[in-house]
Amino acid sequence: MKQKLICLLLAGAMALSLFGCTQGESSSAPEATPTPEVSDTSSAVEEEPQASYPVTLTDAAGREITIEEEPEKLVSGYYITTSMFIALGQEEKLVGIEAKADSRPIYSLAAADLLELPSVGTAKQFDLEGCAALEPDLVILPLKLKDQTEALEDLGINVLLVNPEDMDLLNETVEMLGAAVGAQEKADELLNYNEETQAFLKETVGSEEKPKVYLGGNSSFLSTAGAKMYQNTLIELGGGENVAAGLEDDYWAEVSYEQVLEWNPEVIVIVPEAEYTRDDVLNDAQLADVDAVKNGRVYEMPSSFEAWDSPVPSAMLGSRWMAAVLHDDVYSFEDFQKDAADFYLTFYDVEIDQSLLTK
């Protein structure tokens, strides 16, 4: 009887214990449910990929530069790379830029604060001391300023040299700057745009008959660009044939009226910021026998935003403009205007006045 009573007491105790455990688990269940973290790939909010440092890059001079951590203070001594930093969303990191910033319309439109930054001079007159005084983490200079790198690096300042003189070099520069400043995702977006535009132009105007094009330079109509300059790429992608492609100069080449008459271009294009006008060309008696002048096919590239004949981030718009001018039967100027507006909204976050995009 005593043994039976003990068994009953033990059974009751076990029942109470089990009941207590069940109650405890039930009350704590909501706290035990795991909360998804933001970094979880299944979360509705995804984090942007973080740049990885240190990063070692090879610049346009073949120099290997290691950047230990993401630069917070940038100096751009070249208008092309200043525009690139805007397109990459890095303009707020700039503490100094090249001279004559007020001559770049896109700065006023997309990053007006840049106009207040200290100038570090030009490629011809670089302000080494002024640049160093800004205490930048990274300086971007054109290849022609290679001699300035040693002095800056002696002060512990990293320098990258760039030389975006053709389409491949332009893309390499975008990729290098994106990796250097932690903007690889935006760089990839711009590179994809360039690739897609090239494919579009080749498909749209690549098989069309190529008019002979003469491109007049900034300072003089009788200066032009040969095959080694970006302007040659601009013309060819736009579905034209550069009459000066046979020139070996790696900068603007001076030619004569006789040479232009011999080439006899069907189309004449005047680059943005030229010191002469379309009327000057049309009224030049020495050009009266050129087909482009006789047929009125002389065009000024738009200059309200950027110099599209340069390897700036929007350089592909120069080739799109060229295609719309040379082959408007397959790529209308209205379509070009819309495409240009979409580009500036995407990469510069500005809405442009499409009426300023003219022939």
DSSP for residue 239: T
| Domain limit, last residue, from 133, 155, 186 | 186
Q: What is the CATH number of the domain that holds 141?
A: 3.40.50.1980
Q: What is the DSSP string of 141-159?
A: EEGGGGGGHHHHHHTT-EE
Alpha carbon separation from 287 to 198, 241, 325, 347 (Å, rounded): 33, 19, 21, 40
**Predicted local confidence at residue 204, as pLDDT:** 97
Contacts of 73 (CB under 8 A, 6+ apart): 93, 95, 134, 135, 136, 137, 138
Structure tokens at 1: 């009887």
Alpha carbon separation from 276 to 214, 221, 281, 289 (Å, rounded): 15, 7, 8, 20
212 lies in the same domain as 329: yes
156 lies in the same domain as 288: no
**Could you tell me if residue 196 is inside a domain?**
no
Structure tokens at 58: 């090879």
Structure tokens at 88: 């990459």
**Could you tell me if residue 340 is inside a domain?**
yes
**Predicted local confidence at residue 161, as pLDDT:** 98
215 lies in the same domain as 350: yes
**Could you tell me if residue 18 is inside a domain?**
no
312 lies in the same domain as 345: yes
Q: CA–CA separation, 263 vs 249, rounded Å?
A: 17
**Could you tell me if residue 30 is inside a domain?**
no
| Domain limit, last residue, from 155, 186, 217 | 186
164 lies in the same domain as 297: no
**Predicted local confidence at residue 50, as pLDDT:** 63
Alpha carbon separation from 230 to 35, 133, 303, 337 (Å, rounded): 54, 34, 17, 22
Alpha carbon separation from 95 to 138, 164, 300, 334 (Å, rounded): 10, 23, 34, 38
Q: Low-confidence residues of the chain, pLDDT below 70?
A: 1-50
Closest CA to 88 of 76, 103, 101, 96: 76
210 lies in the same domain as 341: yes
Structure tokens at 338: 């819309």
**Predicted local confidence at residue 40, as pLDDT:** 44
Q: Are 159 and 152 in contact (CB under 8 A)?
A: yes
Quote the pTM value: 0.82
Q: What is the pLDDT of residues 86-142, one digit of tens each?
A: 999 999 999 999 999 999 999 999 999 999 999 999 988 999 999 999 999 999 999
**Could you tell me if residue 254 is inside a domain?**
yes
The total number of structural domains in the chain stands at 2
**Could you tell me if residue 9 is inside a domain?**
no
Domain span at 238: 206-356
103 lies in the same domain as 162: yes
180 lies in the same domain as 216: no
Q: CA–CA separation, 117 vs 129, rounded Å?
A: 15
| Domain limit, last residue, from 154, 186, 218 | 186
Q: CA–CA separation, 229 vs 248, rounded Å?
A: 10
Q: CA–CA separation, 162 vs 170, rounded Å?
A: 9
Q: What is the pLDDT of residues 291-336, one digit of tens each?
A: 999 999 999 999 899 999 999 999 999 999 999 999 999 999 999 9
**Predicted local confidence at residue 318, as pLDDT:** 96
